[in-house]
Amino acid sequence: MDSASTHAYDPHRTAPRALATEAVHAGRDDLARQGLHAAPIDLSTTYPSYDSRAEAARIDAFAADGAEPQGPPVYGRLGNPTVARFETALATLEGTEAAVAFASGMAALSAVLLARSAMGLRHVVAVRPLYGCSDHLLTAGLLGSEVTWTDPAGIADALRPDTGLVMVESPANPTLAEVDLRAVAHACGTVPLLADNTFATPVLQRPAEHGARLVLHSATKYLGGHGDVMAGVVACDEEFAGRLRQVRFATGGVLHPLAGYLLLRGLSTLPVRVRAASATAADLAVRLAADPRVARVHYPRIGGAMVAFEVHGDPHEVIAGVRLVTPAVSLGSVDTLIQHPASISHRIVDADDRRGAGVSDRLLRMSVGLEDVEDLWADLDQALGQPLPAPQVPVGLHEALS
């Protein structure tokens, strides 16, 4: 990474500020002059105006290019000042011109797909694995899209005249497989590349710097960071953001202002949380790799707070055995979470497709939180149980009997 890339993008600022600084200041630069410290939460659904000519002009402008309306807000589905603060902050951290927030990560992905199909570009090229529900949305064609699955090397050949999107995750959910974003972006040519950056967060990787036009987050995860807010966001250029705002306005997947507030607050500790949890995760990955009860550990080169590992024994018993670690789907919270992708996060993906994507039935996915590493290891150690006597009972058999 070059030195410039450690600083967030802002075309108007001469002295760039570091990511850690932007995390606590972006989207809040006007507060001190207003005599405010915490960001105000604007819960209004509508905004009074005696000047309906000016409101009509703002609505016309929005219909033309989807630009954030100038002047007083009009209606909650068109835009909200608290949510806009979060969008500004996230765009700054990802180094993009804009960001558009949605009610969930899936609502954000849906808006991208709808924006492309509305232009007649309904074909998507995607690389597995993806988050289970993203895989499902594309495979089932729920929004009228058609998907071609390929590996990174096959992207260029899979492109068609009606390809509107190439989608990758890196590190991917749940195997933490990585793709070379720069090479993939190159292979896409003029087709927008969407990189799901939920796992890496802008602290570890800013895909726009590598050529991704769209950076997707399930903000439910690390950006919120405390397991108490559902949200999605797409960071991108202003032109694409305009189309996404128009889709959001027409389809209604808006983010609630309270969620916008919680996300803005979450961003301020994002660098600290991600770095601390990543150090613990790297430590646990080493301990797991050295453990005879563990067959394989997946930990990305880029680092991060996610660790996946395959056990020799029954993964369901590990889930049943944890006491400190929380046995729950989702990730990116302050507490450590563990789940069995084949049973939960990727259950909706056809079993053959899932295994073909490298998601073993013995894989466990762990989102490492902020607890002490020794306490976490003690819990994992007891949950992993006794080493299995050979021969091992296949997981498939266990499932067939249950």
In the complex, residue closest to ligand PLP by CB: 105
Place of tokens 């096959």: 154
Work out which of 99, 106, 121, 214 binds ligand PLP, going by CB under 6 A. Answer: 106
Smallest separation, CB 355 to ligand PLP (Å): 19
Q: Candidates 129-137, 264-272, 301-309, 350-358 — which segment interacts with ligand PLP by CB under 6 A?
A: 129-137
Q: Which is nearer to ligand PLP, 74 or 130 (CB)?
A: 130
Evaluate whether 29 touches 89 at the Cβ level (below 8 Å). no
Task: Exactly one of 28, 58, 128, 196 is catalytic; name it.
Answer: 196
Residues between 197 and 256 that touch ligand PLP (CB under 6 A): 198, 218, 220-221, 230, 232
77 is known as an active-site residue: yes
50 is known as an active-site residue: no
Q: What is the phi/psi pair of residue 316, to 5°?
A: -65, -30
Smallest separation, CB 12 to ligand PLP (Å): 31
Smallest separation, CB 52 to ligand PLP (Å): 37
Radius of gyration of the chain, Cα coordinates, nearest whole angstrom = 22
Work out which of 169, 209, 314, 361 binds ligand PLP, going by CB under 6 A. Answer: 169
Q: Which is nearer to ligand PLP, 117 or 220 (CB)?
A: 220
Q: Under the criterion CB under 6 A, does residue 175 sit at the interface with ligand PLP?
A: no
Smallest separation, CB 102 to ligand PLP (Å): 9
Work out which of 104, 139, 145, 333 binds ligand PLP, going by CB under 6 A. Answer: 104
Work out which of 134, 139, 205, 333 binds ligand PLP, going by CB under 6 A. Answer: 134
**Would you state the structure tokens that stand for residue 282, as one six-digit string?**
């790297």
Q: Under the criterion CB under 6 A, does residue 131 sit at the interface with ligand PLP?
A: yes
Count of chain residues binding ligand PLP (CB under 6 A): 15
| Residue among 75, 150, 163 at smallest CA distance from 119 | 163
28 is known as an active-site residue: no
Task: Exactly one of 58, 85, 122, 131 is catalytic; name it.
Answer: 131
CA distances from 221 to 105, 224, 241, 388 (A): 9, 6, 22, 34
Smallest separation, CB 221 to ligand PLP (Å): 6
Residue 9 DSSP code: -
Evaluate whether 200 touches 170 at the Cβ level (below 8 Å). yes
Q: Candidates 12-20, 73-81, 84-92, 101-109 — which segment interacts with ligand PLP by CB under 6 A?
A: 101-109
User: What is the spatial distance between Cα 21 and Cα 7, in angstroms, rounded to a whole number?
Assistant: 9
| Residue among 17, 118, 146 at smallest CA distance from 6 | 17
160 is known as an active-site residue: no
**Would you state the structure tokens that stand for residue 158, as one six-digit string?**
């899979």
Inter-residue long-range contacts of 346-353, CB under 8 Å, 24+ positions, other chains counted: 346/129, 346/132, 346/135, 346/174, 347/132, 348/132, 348/133, 348/135, 348/136, 349/132, 349/135, 349/136, 349/139, 350/139, 353/128, 353/135, 353/139, 353/149
Evaluate whether 33 touches 47 at the Cβ level (below 8 Å). no
Site residues, ligand PLP (CB under 6 A):
104-106, 131, 133-134, 169, 173, 196, 198, 218, 220-221, 230, 232
**Mind telling me the catalytic residues?**
77, 131, 196, 221
